[in-house]
């Protein structure tokens, strides 16, 4: 066939009643949507290979691991989820709240189907691994449907494409491996919103009223009744996935009141919306009653608050419709109707506060935490719950930069779309009042953005005026914008579906800026509004058809250029062409499991080398704690059997300990046990730490005292990383961050000051987790190293507040000074007035005593990265033991005896020296307790209820005194050695280890003018190994190089721009 004839055939096909063109016009959205879903799934699965390591499936974050436990349980007990879990929050156990929901049941069901009813644990894990990617990709479907409801198929397709390209939180929460419920929430919420839109839209079209209901006219009510019920089912399913999704019921309630009042004052009937609201929320309430598992009011569990609020919205919508009828029948002024409604709402809230204070408190607290810009100090320690524009997240960038990184320009386009929806009905009325309202509204909003300090000035005197409701500039701005929206609805009637989207967008935007995690919801809103705006613009430009049937062009060049500019503004930043935002596929490529890779070998070791829960000390009760057993809350299963024990760590790591270590953490990412963990980890003494364990709860004191292991990682012990989080939760005393460390600055008032290093206070070194991680329980003495600084008073440019800060010395004077002995160092500090001993890296200001009951049993193979390319083990695991008693004799009276033993850390190919000191009595006798053994390791292990320790001694304990001048002028020392058995350390052997010190003559006083007293030796004789522990050398062994800024910075995790080189004095 010739080229000419082929072209003719093609034209024939195209011109046959326009069938192919018409087909493309009618069906183009189908392949487009399928392509979007496919691309989204592909992008989210790009890093799949990183999550399979040596055949083991890993997950990103914390919560995904607990979902793995839930899914594994459900596979074994389908369709049930864990009702109560004693394998976390020792010694209490917990109900799982918002875990163990429909999400876990769906994943378990898929795993059962794929595994033909008997899936392997690996298959279940892989199913959960890809679940967020699948759910994230499927979210494009309801997004398309919502966009189509608002602006037609073009709006739907553009909405889906925008969602596909967004590189922010929504992408990050739906990547492979991020198997938290966050990834499925947007899908179910979007479907619920779509169903609600349809229900309200049909109600507005079909106009159901009370007369139809009283006449039982099912033919007239069938369609709105059906869609109302479906909307109720969709809303309930969303909350079945995530109980705190009750916020959507609040959105529905806010919309219904607003729409009903608007319809009433503008001459319409509120009964149409009332019908849809009553049907949908009644169905939602009934379905939520099926899930209630606690008689109380909490949003994080299936409680009475979900059905209660749904029923309240249903009844409220009927009441407003009833009141409107009464208002009309009595010919009352419609101007007073909004006043009556909003007044009754306030009265109702007041009555609720009196009659059901728990319910009112729950609603108030959750509204403030979710949409009220009220992120407290404890909330801010949760990475995903910090405010979107938190300065700590911005990292010096502007708020605009943060928004551009998350959304490109689409958030701003979404704001324009909302403004368009709100303005057009006002302008269509064509009256001066409406024009003036639009102008005033724009002026007020412009003032909010251009003069943010004005809001702060107004909010400050109001803070505290409303009881427990804090008044911030952000909250005040939210109230003003809300008032403007309410005012607009009182002046004009709005399309039900468009107004619902505006209310939904307002709630979700407030939530996203209050807590950063909710940006995965805002992404859906932004995508929908952007698609709507593009479709409206295309319609306004008359670009509905590029050509007519005759083939003549129906558009001009300016229209093409305008459309191209719009598409460029929407898509270019999202495709990575802008400097502020990387493309979605680029961000996906950099995604991986995260810190679990640093913890994995320690958790695997714990599972295999520590006694099973219920068998510590050989109790033999492991069968009473089945890992996948079914336990009921309140039936005594949290009364742990003898041999059960807890593992103390910061709450971030609780789920990892439960799932990977198969041990019971004291604290978990539900933030249960957070205060207890903080009080233990920051305890200033070993006795205080013990009091924390025994004082968890009067009824559980015995079980709490069975906490046997402590796991500390590099971030927990490092200021500027996770060390600050426990400070917020610490309630054993009134402390703040400045009690533990401060920042040293350099610069001047004109050019500004830059933080160059973190300097530690003595309280930092005294805290339990530092004594464990940095010193392995060993005693540590200060060194004659002094930090010299200057005090400067500066002005905060943002607040105008005067602050006192510490800065590097001016001129060429060194900040770090090294002295020959401690006396000289302390004298310099006393005379200088702005200096301190130590505080750099692992060097304390005062002596830190040894721990007697905690020993390092495992160090991870992975190390913390430092500027030198190596560092301490990332995770260190300690065991709490009885400790062995050592009794000694033969030493001088009233002398200091130092015990030392070198311990080998095979995973790091390193050693450290544990040091302990005791004072002798008048007879030269002493007693001390030590936690490390030197022999007998093979006699104990998991089989008989003990630990197969990885860290073991290289030698016996050595015991020695300092150098002493004898009466005859000779220089003598006393020394000896002894072994300590594993049985003695574990308390299985009550016998004390015995050591006899022998005198050694080292010379005479004339031969050694540098002899020191015991007191001086105990203060000066300190050095630090690569693991940061005492050895029996002297302070001069620390060179200037070891105290350079890079070394100091590595030990505290802070980058220092200039070396803090030491000078010798």
Continuous H helices in 139-175: 140-151, 153-165, 169-173
The pLDDT score that the predictor gives to residue 18 is 56
Tokens 């809230």 belong to residue: 349
DSSP letter, residue 553: B
Among candidates 907, 915, 945, which has minimal Cα distance to 932? 915
Rg (CA), the chain: 35
1054: tokens are 């802070």
Provide the pLDDT for residue 1042: 30
The residues spanned by each domain of the chain are 191-371, 875-1064
pLDDT, averaged across the chain? 84
Characterize the bridge pairing of strands 884-889 and 926-930.
Answer: antiparallel
pLDDT of 220 reads: 84
From the list 1044, 998, 1035, the residue with the least C-alpha distance to 1017 is: 1035
pLDDT at 313: 95
* DSSP string over 203-235: HHHH---HHHHHTT-HHHHHHHHHHHHHHHHHH
845, 695 contact by CB (below 8 A): no
HSE toward the beta carbon, residue 37, CA cutoff 13 A: 16
pLDDT 10s digits, 213-232: 888 888 888 999 999 999 99
DSSP-assigned beta bridge partners for residue 995: 888
pLDDT in tens, 835-882: 999 999 899 999 999 999 999 999 999 888 654 456 789 999 999 999
Q: Which of 721, 740, 599 is nearest to 682 (CA)?
A: 740
Q: Which two tokens stand for residue 711?
A: 């796991």
Residue 810: per-residue pLDDT: 81
- pLDDT (tens digit, 9 = 90+) per residue, 354-375? 888 877 877 887 788 888 777 6
Closest CA to 962 of 1008, 902, 913, 927: 1008
Angstrom distance (rounded) from CA 859 to CA 713: 10
> Which pLDDT belongs to residue 547?
38
Residue pointed to by tokens 């179910």: 188
C-alpha span between 152 and 607 (Å, rounded) = 56
Give the residue among 485, 526, 504 at the shortest CA–CA distance from 251.
Answer: 504
Let me know: does 313 contact 256? Beta carbons within 8 Å: yes
pLDDT at 539 (0 to 100): 85
Write out residues in the chain with pLDDT < 50, as ranges: 1-16, 546-553, 579, 867-868, 1008-1062
In terms of C-beta distances under 8 Å and separation of at least 24 residues, what long-range contacts does 1040-1048 make, across chains too? 1040/818, 1040/1064, 1043/785, 1043/816, 1043/818, 1043/840, 1043/841, 1045/756, 1045/757, 1046/867, 1046/868, 1047/841, 1047/868, 1048/757, 1048/840, 1048/841
Fold of 875-1064: Immunoglobulin-like (2.60.40)
Q: Three-state SS for 959?
A: strand
Q: From the centroid of its chain, how far is CA 942? A: 34
DSSP label at 935? B
């Amino acid at each position: 066939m010739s080229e000419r004839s082929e072209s003719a055939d093609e034209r024939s096909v195209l011109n046959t009643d326009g069938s192919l063109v018409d087909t493309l016009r009618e069906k183009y959205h189908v392949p487009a949507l399928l392509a979007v879903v496919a691309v989204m799934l592909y992008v989210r699965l790009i890093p799949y290979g990183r999550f399979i390591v040596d055949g083991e499936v890993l997950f990103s974050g914390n919560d995904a691991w607990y979902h793995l436990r839930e899914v594994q349980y459900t596979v074994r007990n389908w369709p049930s989820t864990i009702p109560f879990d004693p394998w976390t929050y020792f010694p209490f156990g917990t109900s799982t709240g918002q875990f163990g929901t429909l999400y876990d049941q769906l994943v378990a069901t898929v795993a059962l189907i794929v595994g033909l009813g008997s899936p392997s644990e690996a298959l279940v894990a892989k199913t959960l691994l890809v679940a967020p990617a699948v759910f994230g990709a499927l979210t494009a479907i309801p997004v398309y449907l919502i966009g189509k409801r608002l602006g037609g198929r073009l709006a739907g397709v553009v909405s889906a494409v925008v969602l596909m390209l967004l590189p922010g939180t929504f992408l990050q929460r739906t990547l492979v491996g991020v198997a938290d419920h966050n990834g499925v929430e947007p899908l179910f919420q979007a479907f619920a919103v779509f169903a609600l839109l349809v229900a309200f839209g049909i109600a507005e079209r079909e106009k159901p009223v009370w007369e139809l209901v009283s006449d039982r006219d099912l033919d007239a009510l069938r369609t709105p009744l059906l869609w109302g019920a479906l909307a109720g089912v969709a809303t309930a399913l969303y909350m079945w996935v995530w109980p705190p999704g009750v916020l959507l019921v609040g959105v529905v309630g806010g919309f219904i009141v607003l729409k009903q009042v608007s319809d009433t004052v503008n001459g319409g009937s509120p009964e149409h919306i009332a019908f849809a609201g009553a049907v949908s929320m009644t169905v939602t309430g009934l379905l939520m009653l099926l899930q209630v598992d606690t008689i109380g009011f909490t949003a994080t569990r299936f409680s009475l608050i979900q059905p209660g609020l749904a029923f309240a919205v249903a009844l409220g919508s009927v009441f407003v419709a009833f009141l409107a009828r009464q208002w009309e029948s009595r010919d009352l002024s419609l101007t007073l109707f909004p006043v009556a409604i909003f007044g009754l709402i306030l009265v109702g809230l007041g009555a609720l506060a009196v009659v059901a204070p728990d319910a009112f408190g729950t609603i108030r607290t959750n509204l403030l935490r979710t949409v009220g810009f009220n992120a407290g100090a404890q909330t801010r320690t949760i990475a995903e719950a910090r405010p979107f524009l938190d300065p700590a997240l911005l990292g010096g960038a502007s708020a605009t930069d943060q928004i551009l990184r998350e959304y490109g320009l689409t958030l701003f386009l979404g704001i324009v779309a909302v403004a368009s929806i709100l303005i057009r009905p006002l302008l269509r009325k064509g009256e001066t009042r409406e024009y003036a309202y639009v102008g005033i509204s724009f002026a007020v909003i412009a003032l909010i953005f251009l003069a943010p300090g004005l809001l702060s000035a107004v909010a400050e005197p109001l803070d505290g005026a409303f009881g427990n409701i804090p008044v911030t500039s952000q909250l005040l701005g939210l109230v003003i914008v809300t008032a403007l929206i309410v005012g607009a609805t009182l002046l004009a009637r709005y399309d039900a579906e468009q107004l619902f989207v505006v209310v939904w967008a307002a709630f979700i935007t407030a939530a996203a800026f209050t807590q950063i995690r909710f940006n995965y919801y805002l992404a859906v809103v932004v995508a929908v509004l952007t698609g709507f705006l593009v479709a409206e613009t295309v319609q306004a430009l008359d670009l509905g058809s590029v050509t007519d049937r005759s083939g003549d062009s129906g558009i001009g060049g300016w229209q093409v250029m305008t459309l191209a500019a719009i598409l460029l503004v929407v898509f270019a930043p999202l495709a990575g062409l802008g400097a502020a935002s990387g493309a979605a596929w680029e961000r996906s490529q950099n995604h991986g499991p995260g810190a679990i890779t640093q913890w994995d070998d320690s958790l695997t070791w714990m599972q295999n080398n520590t006694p099973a829960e219920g068998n510590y000390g050989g109790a033999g009760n492991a069968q009473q704690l089945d890992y996948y057993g079914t336990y009921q809350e309140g039936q005594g299963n949290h009364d742990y059997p003898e041999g059960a024990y807890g593992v103390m760590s910061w709450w971030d790591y609780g789920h990892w300990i439960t799932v990977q270590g198969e041990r019971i953490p004291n604290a978990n990412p539900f933030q249960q046990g957070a205060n207890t963990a903080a009080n233990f980890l920051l305890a200033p003494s070993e006795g205080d730490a013990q009091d924390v364990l025994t004082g968890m709860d009067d009824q559980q004191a015995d079980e709490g005292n069975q906490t046997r292991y402590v796991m500390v990682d590099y971030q927990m012990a490092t200021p500027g990383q996770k060390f600050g989080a426990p400070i917020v939760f610490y309630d054993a005393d009134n402390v703040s961050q400045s009690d533990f460390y401060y920042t040293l600055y350099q610069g001047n008032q004109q050019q500004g000051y830059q933080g160059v290093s973190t300097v530690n206070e003595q309280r930092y070194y005294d805290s339990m987790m530092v004594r464990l991680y940095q010193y392995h329980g060993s005693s540590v003495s200060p060194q004659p190293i002094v930090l010299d600084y200057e005090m400067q008073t500066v002005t905060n440019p943002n607040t105008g507040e005067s602050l006192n800060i510490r800065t590097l010395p001016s001129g060429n004077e060194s900040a770090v000074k090294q002295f020959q002995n401690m006396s000289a160092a302390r004298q310099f500090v006393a005379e200088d007035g702005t200096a301190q001993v130590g505080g750099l890296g692992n060097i304390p200001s005062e002596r830190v005593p040894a721990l007697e009951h905690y020993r390092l049993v495992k160090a991870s193979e992975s190390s913390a990265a430092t500027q030198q390319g190596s560092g301490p083990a990332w995770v260190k695991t300690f065991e709490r033991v009885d400790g062995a008693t050592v009794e000694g004799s033969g030493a001088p009276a009233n002398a200091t005896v130092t015990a030392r033993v070198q311990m080998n850390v095979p995973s790091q190919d390193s050693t450290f020296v544990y040091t302990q000191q005791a004072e002798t009595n008048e007879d030269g006798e002493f007693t001390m307790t030590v936690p490390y053994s030197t022999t007998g390791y093979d006699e104990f292990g998991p089989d008989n209820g003990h630990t197969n320790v990885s860290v073991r001694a290289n030698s016996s304990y050595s015991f020695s005194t300092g150098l002493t001048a004898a009466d005859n002028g000779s220089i003598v020392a006393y020394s000896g050695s002894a072994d300590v058995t594993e049985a003695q350390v574990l308390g299985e052997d009550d016998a004390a280890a015995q050591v006899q010190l022998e005198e050694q003559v080292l010379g005479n006083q004339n031969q050694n003018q540098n002899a020191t007293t015991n007191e001086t030796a105990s203060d000066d004789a300190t050095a630090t190994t690569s693991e940061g522990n005492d050895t029996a050398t002297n302070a001069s062994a620390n060179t200037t190089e070891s105290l350079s800024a890079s070394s100091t910075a590595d030990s505290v995790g802070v980058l220092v721009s200039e070396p803090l080189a030491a000078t010798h004095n």
